[in-house]
Amino acid sequence: MLSIVASSALSLRTVQPAIGGARLGVRARALPLMQETDTKPAPFSFFQQNVPEDQQPVVELQNLRQQAFYDWVDDDDYGGKLRNLWIGIMFFFSLPISYATYDQLPYELPQLFLSANLGTLAVMLPFIVRLRVGWGFVSKRLRAKASYYEAEQRGLLARKDRETQTRDRLIEKTEVAPNLRRIDASIAATIAALFVTLASAEAVTVLEGENGPSTLKTLSGDAAIDYTNRLRGDDAFAAREQARAQRKADENGEGVKPAYCDSRYYKILAGGNGQGGVGCGD
């Protein structure tokens, strides 16, 4: 196979006398152009004829690696880079945002970390999928038997010769395919982590039951009527809800307020204080 590539490269550097004048002119112009535009030695000794250099699959692979984050996949520490990204998003963005909702610590600590992890994974998944799209595009271009390119405002196809097909498929097999498998594994792990986080959140909700945090609990309609009736008829339930409201008020440094102060809807129904709810202080 190396002899095929070497012989093809040599043939592009040698102009045969029997070649017609028009074809000779194309090759004579192509070689000086490569010498003028390339400041570094090209890693590949030849390019596909007629296809613009920047639309060659091997050049597109080089350009992909020069874009931000795409070169992560080439690194054996790809998993470590994703782990560091998770830590950065988790502690600098997800946890502060989650704390704005689940601030009753330590009672809402499980909900705090689960919601933060869910948000972090939801951000990382599109990021990894974007890496997959870029590397998948280059893989498809290298495996194709013909190269699609644009010239003179038209879309054209140039069929690869045998040597070019062999070279491109070898590059795809040895350099691109392993990276795609690495990305696919990280996507599967991220999706699995999302499902585990959602399942854990449901499990925490079931285990804690009514003793769990009341944050984000908004009752309306029949549920609100049932809640009110239960407060009136179940002394233990009423005492637990009162203790929960008192604990939240103490942790926030606030006085005791009516339970409806946590709901904008019921504050408006209560009226007073500029629709802020009687006794809510705002």
Residue 214: inside a domain, yes or no?
no
Q: What is the DSSP letter of 151?
A: E
This prediction has a pTM of 0.64
Residues 6+ apart with CB under 8 A from 90: 116, 117, 120
Note whether 118 and 243 are same-domain residues: no
Element (H, E) at 168: helix 162-171
pLDDT of residue 234: 77
Indicate whether 172 and 63 sit together in one domain. Answer: yes
> Rounded mean pLDDT of the chain?
75
pLDDT tens-place string over residues 82-110: 999 999 999 999 999 998 888 777 878 88
62 with 196, same domain? yes
Could you tell me if residue 276 is inside a domain? no
Nearest to 48 by CA among 158, 134, 132: 158
Predicted pLDDT at 128: 97
> How far is 235 from 219, CA to CA, in rounded Å?
20
Determine the structural domain holding residue 125 and report its residue range. 51-207
Could you tell me what percent of the chain has a pLDDT over 90? 39
Residues 262 and 201 in one domain: no
104 lies in a domain? yes
Domains: count for the chain? 3
pLDDT tens for residues 198-208? 999 888 877 87
Residues 74 and 174 in one domain: yes
What is the reported pLDDT for 167? 93
- 22 and 154, same domain (yes or no): no
pLDDT band at 180 (very low <50, low <70, confident <90, very high): very high
CA dist 113 and 115 (Å) reads: 6
Phi, psi of 117 (to 5 degrees): -65, -40
pLDDT of residue 3: 45
* 194 and 254 assigned to the same domain: no
Q: Are 152 and 169 found together in one domain?
A: yes
